[in-house]
């Protein structure tokens, strides 16, 4: 065993300097740290792009396999009412506007038109 007695306790600064707890290689320069960071960023972006394309090699283990692939494709291909909702509403509005003719006697628009004429004559005193 190494004899540890007889020496003063080292200061914290000295003890941590001995440990050298740097996450990067010792003596790494700023340029090498920047290069490493850039390589890591590029690798992450490539992995994410592969994941977004649907490549199974870039997916987590829980999303790999033929069953999961079938479920992903089924979910992506199915249609819902909400996709067509805006188109349906525009068509309904178009037909409602065209069917409301202010020139027919049975239309409710005709009554509104006559009511407006009546009050505009009374307000402006037009005979």
Structure tokens at 3: 């004899």
Confidence band for 49, pLDDT divided at 50, 70 and 90: very high
Q: How far is CA 72 from CA 4, 13, 75, 76, in A?
A: 64, 55, 5, 6
Within a domain: 58: yes
Confidence band for 116, pLDDT divided at 50, 70 and 90: low
Name the domain count of the chain. Answer: 1
Tell me the mean pLDDT in the region 13-30. 72
What dihedral angle (degrees, nearest 10) is formed by the CA atoms of 80, 86, 87, 88? 80
Within a domain: 84: no
Structure tokens at 108: 């409710």
For position 22, what pLDDT does the model report?
59
Tell me the mean pLDDT in the region 26-41. 87
Within a domain: 67: yes
Q: What's the CA gap between 64 and 50, in Å, rounded? A: 14
Tell me the mean pLDDT in the region 62-75. 88
Tokens 């396999």 belong to 65
Within a domain: 36: yes
Within a domain: 69: yes
Range of the domain at 53: 29-76
């Amino acid at each position: 065993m190494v004899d540890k007695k007889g020496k003063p306790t080292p200061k914290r600064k000295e003890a941590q300097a001995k440990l050298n707890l740097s996450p990067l290689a010792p003596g790494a320069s700023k340029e090498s740290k920047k290069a490493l960071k850039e390589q890591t960023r590029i690798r992450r972006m490539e992995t994410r792009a592969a994941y977004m394309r649907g490549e199974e090699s870039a997916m987590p283990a829980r999303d790999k396999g033929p069953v999961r692939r079938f479920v992903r494709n089924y979910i992506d291909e199915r249609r819902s009412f909400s996709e067509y909702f805006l188109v349906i509403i525009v068509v309904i509005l178009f037909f409602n506007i065209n069917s409301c003719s202010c020139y027919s006697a049975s239309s409710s628009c005709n009554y509104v038109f006559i009511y407006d004429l009546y009050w505009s004559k009374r307000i402006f005193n037009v005979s």
